[in-house]
């Protein structure tokens, strides 16, 4: 997966609901078309980040996990 990274949000070590709250705040500051890569270690983020993208209309471009770090690539597609 190759994506242009406009921002990286390091939410490693944060527990629910902080990773999704920080992701939403970052998305709110971004222009449509920009991409944020979110790094998290909280297993609940698997559900929360997918749900955030579904309810906000933003595109979850990629989601992966390596060595306990969950990586989400999200493209801002909606102006809230």
- pLDDT for 79 equals 62
Q: How far apart are CA 51 and CA 26, in angstroms?
A: 16
Which structural domains are found in the chain, ordered by start?
Answer: 7-75 (3.30.110.40)
The question of whether 53 is a catalytic residue gets the answer: no
Q: Please tell me the predicted confidence (pLDDT) of residue 6.
A: 84
- pLDDT per residue, tens digit, the chain (80 aa), is 445 568 999 999 999 999 999 999 999 999 999 999 999 999 999 999 999 999 999 999 999 999 999 999 999 997 65
Comparing C-alpha atoms, which of 17, 1, 11, 8 is closest to residue 52?
Answer: 17
pLDDT confidence of residue 1:
45
Of 16, 21, 44, 60, the active-site residue reads 16
- pTM exceeding the 0.85 threshold for the entire prediction: yes
- Give the Cα separation of 80 and 65 in Å (integer): 29
């Amino acid at each position: 997966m190759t994506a242009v990274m406009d921002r990286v949000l390091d939410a490693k070590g944060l527990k629910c609901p902080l990773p999704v709250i920080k992701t939403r705040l970052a998305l709110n500051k971004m222009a449509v078309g920009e991409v944020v890569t979110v790094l998290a270690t909280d297993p609940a983020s698997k559900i929360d980040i997918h749900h955030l993208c579904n309810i906000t209309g933003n595109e979850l471009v990629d989601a992966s996990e390596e060595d306990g770090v969950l990586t989400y690539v999200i493209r801002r597609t909606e102006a809230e």
